Amino acid sequence: MFNLIKMDVYRMFHSVSTWVTLAFAVVLAVFSIFMINTDIQSIAAEPQRAEQVQGEITGNEDRQIGMSVSANPEWVSGDIEAGAIISTAVKSGILLLLCTIFTAVFVNAEQKNGYIKNIAGQFPNRGVLALSKLIAVALQVLLMLIIFTLVTALSGLILWGGRFYLGSVPALFKFLGTQYLLHLGFSALILFLCVLTRSSAFSMVAGLLPCFGVLVPFYSIINKVVYDIRPGWHFDISRYMLDGNISMAGIGASSGVLLRAVLVGCVFILLSTVLAMLILKKRDVR
């Protein structure tokens, strides 16, 4: 098992996809900051927009289709907390997009080029091939999150100078830890889909849809059906889904929301990995 982990980590650092996604993490972090800054400038130019944006931030918890970062009106003239900016950028799903692409490309490469046939026979419990891949993916997700966070913070510092401050470090770490588990859970789900379908295209598309919030209308339908059956039960399926929790578990979220997000992340990691391992073990290698 240890040998397989070493193999996959070696492959990860020698894959083009690893460095491309890390480069995109840098570019998208800078892009997010510029988008937030553009939003701040537009609120400053049209003060009436501030009320509308404030309403979106505090009053309306419904997610919208698409990917967006929005500025807090308080940032127009006040200080800007690094954690809040990082939270806004991570919650937008930009990093999730990169996790999906990397996992689909990395996990499926072995199947696509047939390298799996060189090694699978020599491991009677082929399931470990999925586990070693998850560990390599976990390392890459961690690297992406760290780089994205650092570049976001650095870009904020360059752009806003003295107005930009670090804020609560423990809260930032709690937020990043929670988001890491959620992003890893999502990557584990993509890994499972790759193993199940042997298709990187399908897995990538299936992963990108939640990133862009395309599943939100389906969640609404499920919520409505559940409401019709049990009106007294305030059920919201997005609370138990990875994409829903990624958008909810911000830096200011309550402990309850963060705890639920951690649990959802862990359940998805565990379930997806176990299922992927079982499929690899039971199914013939093509």
Partner 1 sequence: MEYLLTTNSLTKQYGRHKAVNGVSLHVRQGDIYGLIGRNGAGKTTILKMISGLAAPTAGDFTLFGETGKHTAPYLSRVGTLIETPGVYPNMSAAENLKIKCLSLGVRQKGVIDELLQTVGLAGAGNKKVKNFSLGMKQRLGIALALVGDPDLVILDEPINGLDPQGIAEVRETLFKLNKERNITLIISSHILEELSKIATRYGIIHDGVLLQELSREELLAKCSERIELKTSDTRKACTVLEGMGITDYKVVDASTIHIFERLNDSGEITMKLAENQVKTMGIAVKNEALEDYYLNLTGGAANV
Which stretches of the chain bind partner 1, using CB under 8 A? Answer: 3-4, 6-7, 10-11, 14-16, 109, 113-122, 124, 284-285
Q: Residue 14 or residue 230: which is nearer to partner 1 going by CB?
A: 14
| CA atoms within 13 A of residue 283's CA, in its CB half-sphere | 16
Q: Report the alpha-carbon distance of residue 277 to residue 197 in Å, rounded.
A: 14
Length of the chain: 286
What is the smallest separation between the CB atom of 106 and partner 1, expressed in angstroms? 11
With b meaning 16 or more CB within 10 Å and e meaning fewer, what string describes 116-145?
beeeeeebeebbbbbbbbbbbbbbbbeebb
**SS3 state at 59:** coil
Q: Report the alpha-carbon distance of residue 127 to residue 118 in Å, rounded.
A: 15
Q: Residue 226 or residue 279: which is nearer to partner 1 going by CB?
A: 279
Q: Is the dihedral of CA 119, 123, 127, 131 positive or negative?
A: negative
β-sheet bridge partners, residue 215:
none
β-sheet bridge partners, residue 164:
80
Q: Residue 84 or residue 137: which is nearer to partner 1 going by CB?
A: 137
What is the smallest separation between the CB atom of 284 and partner 1, expressed in angstroms? 4
Q: Report the alpha-carbon distance of residue 249 to residue 51 in Å, rounded.
A: 23
What is the smallest separation between the CB atom of 125 and partner 1, expressed in angstroms? 8
Q: Residue 6 or residue 224: which is nearer to partner 1 going by CB?
A: 6
Q: Residue 21 or residue 37: which is nearer to partner 1 going by CB?
A: 21
What is the smallest separation between the CB atom of 108 and partner 1, expressed in angstroms? 12
Q: Report the alpha-carbon distance of residue 227 to residue 223 in Å, rounded.
A: 6
Q: Residue 128 or residue 159: which is nearer to partner 1 going by CB?
A: 128
Q: Residue 5 or residue 274: which is nearer to partner 1 going by CB?
A: 5
What is the smallest separation between the CB atom of 25 and partner 1, expressed in angstroms? 20
Q: Residue 4 or residue 261: which is nearer to partner 1 going by CB?
A: 4
The per-residue DSSP string of 96-143 comes to: HHHHHHHHHHHHHHHHHHTTHHHHGGG-SSTTHHHHHHHHHHHHHHHH
For residue 286, give the DSSP letter.
Answer: -
What is the smallest separation between the CB atom of 7 and partner 1, expressed in angstroms? 4
Query: Dihedral of the CA atoms 55, 81, 27, 11 (nearest 10)?
Result: -110
What is the smallest separation between the CB atom of 130 and partner 1, expressed in angstroms? 14
What is the smallest separation between the CB atom of 142 and partner 1, expressed in angstroms? 21
